[in-house]
Amino acid sequence: MNFYNLKHKEEQLSFKEATIKGQGKDKGLFFPEDISKFSPEFLKNLPNLSDEEIAYQVMKDFAGDEIPEAELRKIVAETIAFDIPLKKVTENISVLELFHGPTLAFKDVGARFMSRCLGYFLKNETRKVTVLVATSGDTGGAVANGFYDVEGIEVVILYPKNRVSPVQEKQLTALGKNIHALEVNGSFDDCQALVKQAFSDDSLTEKLLLTSANSINVSRWLPQQIYYVLALKQWLKNNSESPVICVPSGNFGNICAGILAHHRGLPVKHFIAACNVNDVVPEYLRTEILKPKETVATISNAMDVGDPSNFVRILELFDKEFNQVKNKLSGYTIDDEETLKTIKRVEKDYGYVLDPHGAVAFVALEKYLAENGGKGFFLETAHPVKFPDSVEKATGKSVEIPKSLEELMKQEKFTTEINPQYEELKEFLLKK
Ligand SMILES: *Cc1c(COP(=O)(O)O)cnc(C)c1O
């Protein structure tokens, strides 16, 4: 399928080209030129289909004319090769657990799909390929894991110094080999700005085949639809009513994929964007003014984004009609104090341990349902063990560390420190 640049509609690329290029002219995001509907049979049959079949059906219209069926089936099966269970937490609230992948966070899904697509597309490439990515926390680990030891592909990850958790930091700095971590003296927005600048620097991209693995990349963004459909498969077994879905949001790639699946026919009553105090989108929904802000550091740090890149795709899905957006999407702002209180309360009342991102989503959903009725689920995007300090502070209990993490935490950290100045990044990329 072709994808167009949201800033320059005339720039149209295939799925392969958009995957390799990451973003278009003037830092524009790519968007599918045609959004096919799911067939009524597919939706009716959902509870009887295998997860692999569902994943293939979700992705085939975007990638199926460029990746042969057998290959694409293999890629999607590997993408979702872990549990994605929907569990009941309270009478009206369920949780979709997206943290059973190798780095214990939902970004594993997008990163695994993307690394496998790139591997397929670049099989015969002779130049060195560099994947350049900015992370506010979990992207780095998921990308590092997805690309680790892939021949011919170098990965450079920028992360804000002291703003990611120890586990997150280890997941992106301990691998070594083709994975290079850059510790930036600045915020996630600084990291993202540096990456965007590299992509628009022709003098650099002449020498290196640069590609992004951020959630702006279509091959990371689109496969996130899969778990919304897998959630509905489980939901429909026990519910006749469509769910309200609440997504802890930072850069808005995840929720945008859910809204895309809904546009294709997936039954969803309403979406909720749950944010921490970085609340550009809830503010937009209140005022109709979309105004990027300085990033504020919080305990749900993967959502510390002051200028959410993917929101333009949501606007595109709703034809930029404010009333349409508002009809389908609500926003909530939850501060750290309420997040901690929620972790404590939910553990005490329901015996369920939330991570800070999931807690923001839980309480946002709870507020919405109290005002509007209905039932729904939220996405738990990371395992609580990734944020032990907050969870222990809230519950007074220690979080059990899985074996795989114990091993990781013992390993050495490899990083290079840079200032948020483009020249420093460029120098690193050219000499590497
Ligand atoms: C990245 C991330 C988010 C935010 O997802 P977006 O797609 O950027 O909105 C939420 N929770 C966790 C744990 C994350 O890693």
Span 275-298, pLDDT tens digits: 999 999 999 999 999 999 999 999
- Per-residue pLDDT tens digits for 1-19: 999 999 999 999 999 999 9
This prediction's pTM: 0.90
Residue 384 CA to ligand 1 center (angstroms) comes to 14
Yes or no: say if 305 and 278 are a contact pair by the CB < 8 Å rule: yes
pLDDT of residue 22: 85
The two tokens of residue 384 are 């609580």
88 catalytic residue (yes or no): no
Yes or no: say if 155 and 143 are a contact pair by the CB < 8 Å rule: yes
Yes or no: say if 231 and 262 are a contact pair by the CB < 8 Å rule: no
Active site residue: 107, 170, 233, 386, which one?
Answer: 107
Please tell me which residue, 243 or 213, carries the higher pLDDT value.
Answer: 243
* Residue nearest atom 15 in ligand 1 by C-alpha distance: 138
- Per-residue pLDDT tens digits for 294-321: 999 999 999 999 999 999 999 999 999 9
| 278 Cα distance to chain centroid | 17
Burial of 283 (0-12, 13-18, 19+ CB in 10 A): middle
Instruction: Report the pLDDT averaged over residues 76-82.
Output: 95
Q: Which atom of ligand 1 is nearest to the CA of 254?
A: 7
Query: With 90 as the cut, is the pLDDT of residue 60 above it?
Result: yes
pLDDT of residue 64: 93
pLDDT of residue 313: 98
Q: Which atom of ligand 1 is nearest to the CA of 107?
A: 15
pLDDT of residue 225: 98
Which residues contact ligand 1 via a Cβ below 6 A? 105, 107, 137-138, 215, 248-254, 302-303, 357, 381-382
pLDDT of residue 166: 86
pLDDT of residue 128: 73
Domains of the chain: 82-105+221-395 (3.40.50.1100)
Instruction: Give percent of the chain with pLDDT exceeding 70.
Output: 99
* Residue nearest atom 1 in ligand 1 by C-alpha distance: 302
pLDDT, averaged across the chain: 94
pLDDT of residue 356: 98
Residue 335 CA to ligand 1 center (angstroms) comes to 16
pLDDT of residue 87: 98
Residue 309 CA to ligand 1 center (angstroms) comes to 12
Q: Which atom of ligand 1 is nearest to the CA of 138?
A: 15
Query: With 80 as the cut, is the pLDDT of residue 215 above it?
Result: no
The two tokens of residue 276 are 């921490």
Instruction: Report the pLDDT averaged over residues 61-65.
Output: 96
pLDDT of residue 125: 76
Query: With 90 as the cut, is the pLDDT of residue 84 above it?
Result: yes
Radius of gyration of the chain (CA): 20
Residue 288 CA to ligand 1 center (angstroms) comes to 23
* Model confidence band, residue 83 (pLDDT cutoffs 50, 70, 90): very high
- Per-residue pLDDT tens digits for 128-178: 789 998 987 777 888 888 888 777 789 999 999 999 888 889 998 999 999
pLDDT of residue 205: 86
pLDDT of residue 167: 85
pLDDT of residue 284: 97
The two tokens of residue 285 are 């929904």
pLDDT of residue 299: 95
